[in-house]
Amino acid sequence: MTALDLSSPVAVVGTGTMGQGIAQVALVAGHPVRLYDAVPGRAREAADAIGARLDRLVAKERLTAADRDAARARLLPAGELSDLADCALVVEAVLERLDVKQELFGALEKIVSDDCLLATNTSSLSVTAIGGALRVPGRFVGLHFFNPAPLLPLVEVVSGFATDADCAARAYGTARAWGKSPVACADTPGFIVNRIARPFYAEAFAVYEARGADPATVDAVLRESGGFRMGAFELTDLIGQDVNESVTHSVWQSFFHDVRFTPSLAQRRLVESGRLGRKSGRGWYDHRDGAERPAPHTAGPEPAPAYVVADGGPGPASD
């Protein structure tokens, strides 16, 4: 399986959570890496943040100081999109909007060479739609990393309708050379993981909405009996309720409102009230300083009392 040569520069566009992680992966693998973000100064901040993470790897003895210094020297924030002209791969990790991604790739195509691989890290948009308007759509592919990208091994390598097989193979081989465990898949809504994960969240929320059990209890069951690292409620608090809900919407719409993917009303209310999870301090759980984490209900049911003594009259209940 062919991988990009390590001397080939890789660009990451959009240097938020995912962009930084993906850039770190390519950098540690040995590529020169260019960072570009639409917000001035953000690529520089991202380079500093990646540098700090490399320092921590050195402190933990997972990277030598010499490799850290060499990696830092290979990492360049770019002031203009045109600074990415010599890159062999551009991975896009900007916000999850079709029009924004399409416009970006339209601009990139005018800058990079025709054999530069163009990749999107979209979680839920159609790879075919993002790359559909490109002049050379065959070199467009989905490279879907998971958060945190430096730690999680899976990368979905998504072939859109027009993706050339050898371009997908190059993307796959490169992800593998970066130490990841890529999986090739076609461009169906949610790809593999985000599609299968929808019912995981939806059924947990449905149990709560039906007053079957509270979030702490459902999470404890999923963790301790189901073997999941996190339950659906704590995981969506980590992801962000807004982000998780928008992926659900996208998959639901893409499947023509198939009831299996119906969004949750309870989650809608969380998002509307700004309870987005850890990032806003509250979600399903209260993450504010000093807040107590609710315990799962593991006690058995109490037997009903034999009788109840009411003290006083029935009040407004009488008519």
Residue tagged active-site, from 109, 126, 144, 159: 144
> Mask of contacts with ligand NAD, 39-78, x by CB under 6 A?
x--x------------------------------------
Interface with ligand NAD (CB under 6 A), residue from 11, 12, 18, 33: 18
CB of 69 to ligand NAD, least distance (A): 26
End-to-end CA distance of the chain: 82
What SS3 class is residue 10? Answer: strand
Residues 6+ apart with CB under 8 A from 249: 263
Cα-based angle 277, 152, 236 (whole degrees, multiple of 5): 20
> Mask of contacts with ligand NAD, 78-107, x by CB under 6 A?
---------------xxxx---x---x---
Q: Does residue 147 touch ligand NAD according to CB under 6 A?
A: yes
For the chain, what is the radius of gyration of the CA atoms? 24
d(CA 155, CA 25): 12
Residues 220-239 contacting ligand NAD, CB under 6 A: 239
123 has catalytic annotation? yes
Interface with ligand NAD (CB under 6 A), residue from 3, 6, 38, 129: 38
CB of 147 to ligand NAD, least distance (A): 3
CB of 163 to ligand NAD, least distance (A): 18
Angle formed by the axes of helices 193-209 and 265-272, to 10°? 90
Closest CA to 40 of 15, 61, 5, 23: 15
Q: Does residue 248 touch ligand NAD according to CB under 6 A?
A: no
Q: Does residue 13 touch ligand NAD according to CB under 6 A?
A: yes
Residue tagged active-site, from 31, 121, 126, 156: 156
Kindly report the three-state secondary structure assignment for every residue of 171-224.
Answer: HHHHHHHCCCEEEEEECCCCCCHHHHHHHHHHHHHHHHHCCCCCHHHHHHHHHH
d(CA 63, CA 294): 39
Interface with ligand NAD (CB under 6 A), residue from 3, 16, 186, 230: 16
CB of 81 to ligand NAD, least distance (A): 8
Q: Is 178 in contact with 205 (CB distance < 8 Å)?
A: no
Residue tagged active-site, from 92, 109, 123, 234: 123
272 has catalytic annotation? no
156 has catalytic annotation? yes
Q: Does residue 108 touch ligand NAD according to CB under 6 A?
A: no
Q: Kindly tell me which of 26 and 104 has the beta carbon lying closer to ligand NAD.
A: 104
Alpha helices in the chain (DSSP H): 17-29, 42-59, 65-74, 98-109, 127-131, 165-177, 193-209, 215-224, 232-239, 241-254, 265-272
Interface with ligand NAD (CB under 6 A), residue from 27, 28, 37, 160: 37
d(CA 263, CA 26): 35
Q: Kindly list the catalytic residues.
A: 123, 144, 156, 194
Interface ranges with ligand NAD (CB under 6 A) = 13-19, 37-39, 42, 93-96, 100, 104, 121-123, 146-147, 239
